[in-house]
Amino acid sequence: MEIAVLAAKAAKGDSDAFVQLVQQLEGSLYYMARSLLGKEEDVADALQETILKAFKSICTLREPKFFKTWLFRILINECNNIGSKRSRTIAYAEIPTTAASMGGYEMVDLRESVERLEEPQRTVVILHYFEDLPLRQVAEVLSISESAVKMRLSRARQALKHSLPNIQEGKINYGSI
């Protein structure tokens, strides 16, 4: 069933519709939380709090068609809360290296390269390209202007261009994606 229809039902008190919504978006929510927090226990905490807060306040959702945007905003706020409470330092040695060559060609994992972006750039890339949110909705989720989203995307593309050796004529070898 479409997200907007389920969100409208959930806003009217249908808990089964809410469960279906969460099930449809759980992979995306997990990936976003994982990219922002890194630690599995922090990710689990963020997801749990996000789902609980969303369930408690679903009746306040004004536009069911923006449920996904609304839920991601809750998740990002929760991740920011958790991140500010806990140390998020990562030793340089813990950062994974780029995929090895295979058959003479470097196989590049785009997701891995996105994970290495700075947090503001990584967030807009995930929301816009991986979650297919329009620029306007990404701006709403992050409480920034559309031009700021465009600038972050531009900087992210430049960073990815430098980190991905297989870019030729604007084409990326997506490898395992």
- Tens of pLDDT along 57-76? 999 888 999 999 999 999 99
% of the chain with per-residue pLDDT over 90: 47
Strand intervals (E) in the chain: 101-102, 105-106
Q: Residue 23: its pLDDT value, please?
A: 94
Contact 175, 98 (CB under 8 A): no
User: Domain end: 85, 116, 151, which one?
Assistant: 85
Q: Residue 131: its pLDDT value, please?
A: 86
Are 147 and 125 in the same domain? yes
In this predicted structure, the answer to whether residue 129 has a pLDDT above a threshold of 80 is yes
CATH of the domain at 69: 1.10.1740.10
CATH of the domain at 157: 1.10.10.10
| First and final C-alpha spacing in the chain | 26
Number of domains in the chain: 2
Are 21 and 77 in the same domain? yes
* DSSP secondary structure, 43-71, as one string: HHHHHHHHHHHHHHHGGG-S-GGGHHHHH
Query: Does 150 or 161 have the greater pLDDT score?
Result: 150
Tell me the pLDDT band of 110, cut-offs 50, 70 and 90: confident
Tell me the pLDDT band of 113, cut-offs 50, 70 and 90: confident
In this predicted structure, the answer to whether residue 108 has a pLDDT above a threshold of 60 is no
Residue 50 is assigned to a structural domain of this protein = yes
Q: Residue 61: its pLDDT value, please?
A: 87
Tell me the pLDDT band of 36, cut-offs 50, 70 and 90: confident
Residue 91 is assigned to a structural domain of this protein = no
Q: Residue 104: its pLDDT value, please?
A: 32
Are 7 and 80 in the same domain? yes
Are 75 and 117 in the same domain? no
Pick the closest to residue 71 from 115, 26, 120 (CA basis): 26
Residue 64 is assigned to a structural domain of this protein = yes
Are 103 and 157 in the same domain? yes
How many CB atoms are closer than 10 A to CB 37?
22
Contact 122, 115 (CB under 8 A): yes
Q: Residue 111: its pLDDT value, please?
A: 77
Are 57 and 105 in the same domain? no
Among the listed ranges 82-86, 101-105, 136-140, which one has the minimum average pLDDT value?
101-105
Mean pLDDT of 44-50: 94
Q: Residue 165: its pLDDT value, please?
A: 64
Residue 171 is assigned to a structural domain of this protein = no
Domain extent for 132: 97-163
